[in-house]
Structure 1
Amino acid sequence: MLFVNLTPEEFQKFTHNHFSHYTQTRVNYDAQHNAHLLGVKDDNGEVIAAGMFTEARALKFFKYFYSQRGPILDYNNIALVDFYFSSLTNYLKQHNCLYVLLDPYILENLRNADGEIIESYDNRMLIRTLEKLGYIHQGYPVGYSKTSQIRWLSVLDLKDKSEQQLLKEMDYQTRRNIKRTEEMGVKVRQLPIEETSRFFKLFKMAEEKHGFSFRDEPYFEQLQRDYQGYASIQLAYIDLTEYVRNLQQKLDSLNSQMKDVETSLQESPNSKKQKTKQTQLNQQITSTQRKIDDTNKTIDTDGSILDLAAAIYIYNDYEVYYLSSGSNPAYNAYMGAYKLQWEMIKFAKAHQIDRYNFYGITGDFSEDAIDYGVQQFKKGFNANVEEYIGDFIKPIKPGLYRLGKLTGKL
């Protein structure tokens, strides 16, 4: 085996043929200024391991290396693991590295949406091997962190399932909400980068609701540029003028039906069937008229086009990732978030992508969890929870690394 710097073409070919995260892609590498493509080739010159490592300054004079959701290799092949990471240490020493961080895309447990383990993966041999090589496993944290990738992901398996089957397997209320968005005429379209502000306005509403602060607007603009067509912002919106028009058509039909019922009752005043139908029609007419009146009031105050919800997505050969989103709570009745998810699930199916990744949750499955509502929303789509192995840190210069930690400069 040979530890080598890979060409972008070699890296692209390998990640295309091996399951990998969107951060471990050629398109992400092309957007980086300081990245290393490090791999292993077998005796036949075939690439059998690959990883992208970014570098950044640490303690002014040194470098910190990070492989986000990488590197990509067969972690059950302990000989390969040992060779790759032993060789990596030598490489990092040559590049003035202070320490390196990894968070491999390796499952620890597959759970249902309530947190119950469906399948567990034995990673003890891997952890022992990495620890022998100087890597310190950072444990199995629950919750969100500003210093590491989320360890718990909510993922919907799309493989070999039709749209009809996916709908059928969803929670009844989720399925019903999707249908209602279609009845109301909620639409989804991609925003050009120039309209990122429309997304960001909704995103800020989510920040205020959940009490967090994440990124500024230029970050999301740059993310779309970096991923060159593999990232997009999708907006769910409704045209209230069109909605009122459809409601009016429905009302006209109901009134027409009511005339027929009244005619029938004149002929048969004691018909229970017609009386029941009259009662039902009265309820529907009242409800539809109320919706028309309420919607016209909203048009007067807010305009006819409402931005309901928006999200930024990234996809690769294996997954569609739902990364960050926001919605206007004043318009929750139009359920734009449900329409967004369903349209992007259909996008994944149309592109033969087998996984729809709702992305992070805390891993706290109690009703007191800060993201309990978010978890229930994702659960409604029949997504399972994937718990990942977590972070590994290796100090390449242990003394200086400990000093940096003690002084709080790392």
Structure 2
Amino acid sequence: LKTYIKRNGGIQLEISPNIDYKIYDNQYNVSYENDSDLIYTMKKCGFRHQGFPVGYEKQQSIALWQYVKNISNFTDESLTSSFEKDGIYSLKKANSFGIKIRNLEYNELDSFKSLTSSSAQLHNFHDKELEYYQLFYKYFGEKADFLVAEIDFSVYRNELIEKIKELELKISASTSLKKEKKRKEYENQIASHKKRLSEIEQMIKDEKKEKTILSSAIIIY
């Protein structure tokens, strides 16, 4: 390998063996630890172990940490109920906002690239060029999906309007003094929904469209 690298003008050789080093459960307890002498053997061959960095590394091209969940025995319903409370809440919220997941077409990859560029700048990691994603799309074919989460502002707007109407009906039905505290709570919720409604109207005006992409991911099968 060293001879090959030198002959081709290489400066540095990095190897990341595809071997589980440690496996943790959801509470971060070690459930498996590799007791092989792989690191010792590679050091003996002249390699230097660079450690296991946590977080984003600017030039890091290998995902050293992976989260894996076995979903073979789940249905759609039981999978959702297996999430943490925050995850279930986020799913319900996303549905009420009219957020849908869909596959991107090849000619939409510039939208995907704009999101990865923004993330790269925000988290300080190295992004690929658009051509890389285009080649990826072509070569992987049905073995990969470029997915995006897209919000439909019109659905979200209608959802807010309906919630405001429901709360206004509740206020008109709560006439007794005992329910004054509850009415105040409903009024606060209405004010919050109206604020969001105003923001949505502005977004539609600014975007000049009723749908926009929020996030994206590549899924490889």
Q: What is the TM-score normalised by the length of structure 2?
A: 0.80
Q: Give the count of matched residue pairs.
A: 213
The match for 1:305 is 211
Are 1:296 and 2:209 counterparts?
A: no
Q: Provide closer, same or farther for how the CA distance between residues 290 and 61 of structure 1 changes in structure 2, counting only shifts above 3 A.
A: closer
Structure 2: runs of 5+ lacking an equivalent: none
Q: SS where residue 232 of structure 1 aligns?
A: strand
Are 1:275 and 2:180 counterparts?
A: yes
Q: SS where residue 141 of structure 1 aligns?
A: coil
The match for 1:286 is 191
Are 1:213 and 2:123 counterparts?
A: no
Pairwise CA distance, 1:202: 0.8
Q: Per residue, is there more helix in 1 or in 2?
A: 2
Q: Deviations over 1:197-223 (max 9, x none)?
A: 001011110111012222100101101
Paired AA for residue 49 in structure 2: G
Partners in 2 of 1:254 and 1:58 — Cα distance?
A: 70
Q: Provide closer, same or farther for how the CA distance between residues 281 and 152 of structure 1 changes in structure 2, counting only shifts above 3 A.
A: closer
Partners in 2 of 1:187 and 1:138 — Cα distance?
A: 46
Paired AA for residue 193 in structure 2: T
Partners in 1 of 2:198 and 2:58 — Cα distance?
A: 46
The match for 1:17 is none
Q: Provide closer, same or farther for how the CA distance between residues 135 and 163 of structure 1 changes in structure 2, counting only shifts above 3 A.
A: farther
Pairwise CA distance, 1:226: 1.0
Q: Aligned ranges for residues 152-231 of structure 1 at < 5 Å?
A: 152-231=65-144
Partners in 1 of 2:70 and 2:45 — Cα distance?
A: 32
Whether contact under 8 Å (2:145, 2:220) holds in the other structure is yes
Q: Provide closer, same or farther for how the CA distance between residues 140 and 116 of structure 1 changes in structure 2, counting only shifts above 3 A.
A: farther
What percent identity do the matched residue pairs reach? 18
Q: SS where residue 142 of structure 2 aligns?
A: coil
Whether contact under 8 Å (2:148, 2:215) holds in the other structure is yes
Q: SS where residue 31 of structure 2 aligns?
A: strand
Q: SS where residue 189 of structure 1 aligns?
A: strand
Choose which of 110, 113, 136 in structure 1 pairs with 2:23.
Answer: 110
Q: SS where residue 218 of structure 2 aligns?
A: strand
| Runs (4+) off by over 6 Å | none
Q: What is the TM-score normalised by the length of structure 1?
A: 0.46
Are 1:248 and 2:172 counterparts?
A: no
Pairwise CA distance, 1:259: 2.4
Paired AA for residue 301 in structure 1: D
Structure 1: runs of 5+ lacking an equivalent: 1-56, 65-99, 316-410
Whether contact under 8 Å (2:59, 2:125) holds in the other structure is no
Q: Per residue, is there more strand in 1 or in 2?
A: 1
Partners in 1 of 2:39 and 2:170 — Cα distance?
A: 70
Choose which of 143, 147, 167 in structure 2 pairs with 1:234.
Answer: 147
Partners in 1 of 2:48 and 2:72 — Cα distance?
A: 33
Whether contact under 8 Å (2:97, 2:153) holds in the other structure is no
Q: Aligned ranges for residues 1-400 of structure 1 at < 5 Å?
A: 58-60=5-7, 103-112=16-25, 115-124=28-37, 138-139=48-49, 141-143=51-53, 144=57, 146=59, 149-261=62-174, 265=175, 269-270=176-177, 272=178, 274-303=179-208, 304-315=210-221
Higher relative contact order (CA 8 A, sep 6+): 1
Q: Provide closer, same or farther for how the CA distance between residues 136 and 167 of structure 1 changes in structure 2, counting only shifts above 3 A.
A: farther
Partners in 1 of 2:88 and 2:182 — Cα distance?
A: 27
Pairwise CA distance, 1:284: 2.2
CA RMSD after TM alignment = 3.1
Pairwise CA distance, 1:104: 3.9
Q: Deviations over 1:176-202 (max 9, x none)?
A: 122211111111111011110001011
